[in-house]
Amino acid sequence: MRKNIGMKNIVLTGFMGTGKSEVSRELSRVLGWKVIDIDTEIEKSQRMKITEIFKQFGEPKFRDIEAEMIKTLSKNKNVVISTGGGVVLRQENMDALRENGVIICLTATPETILKRTGNNNDRPLLQVEDPLKKIQEFLKFRMPYYAKADIMIDTENKTPFEIAEEIIEKVNK
């Protein structure tokens, strides 16, 4: 399999809990590329956790910080970029990421997403009474945005390794 000859950045998008972090680590291992995790970079630059940024400044301010970070970091080459689930909402983010990269969207069912996100409270948008209902609502609203990706990958019943291999295969086609 041709792996990293003249390939574009691999950009992972998708809702919370679709496996972006795990799959980006797997891609990094297989390709020998560095991972840039947008949320981690935001937390480093703000010296604050994402939940704290939401609490102190609100979501619109977080989205501005996120867009700035993407503008800067999408200039890198030969990297895997893992994005936060809301990055797709701004067209300017998609344009910047697409300049050097191919945009992948990982998908999963609401039930799987709940299972994968249920154990921690570091996702401010899911700290609600009925997270499953919230996930369903978010997915319905965001689906047209996620659908703007170049390649969609269903992650149900697949290991991160299998998903990484599927991505590389489809990118190389």
Binding site for ligand S3P (CB under 6 A): 16, 20, 39, 50, 84-86, 123-125
| Residue whose CB is less far from ligand S3P, 52 or 169 | 52
Closer Cβ to ligand S3P, 90 or 123, answer by number: 123
Task: Tell the smallest beta-carbon distance from residue 83 to ligand S3P (Å).
Answer: 7
- Considering the complex, what minimum distance in angstroms separates the CB of residue 74 from ligand S3P? 16
Looking at the Cβ atoms of 86 and 110, the one nearer to ligand S3P is: 86
Instruction: Enter the tokens of residue 59.
Output: 């979501």
CA atoms within a 13 Å half-sphere pointing along the CA-CB vector of 62: 23
Nearer to ligand S3P, 156 or 169 (CB): 156
CA distance 164 to 168: 6
Question: Which value, to the nearest 10 degrees, does the dihedral of the CA atoms of residues 87, 93, 99, 104 take?
Answer: 20
Contact 135, 48 (CB under 8 A): no
| Cβ atoms of residues 105 and 14 within 8 Å | yes
In angstroms, what is the minimal distance from the CB of 55 to ligand S3P?
11
Query: Least separation, in Å, of the C-beta of 150 and ligand S3P?
Result: 19
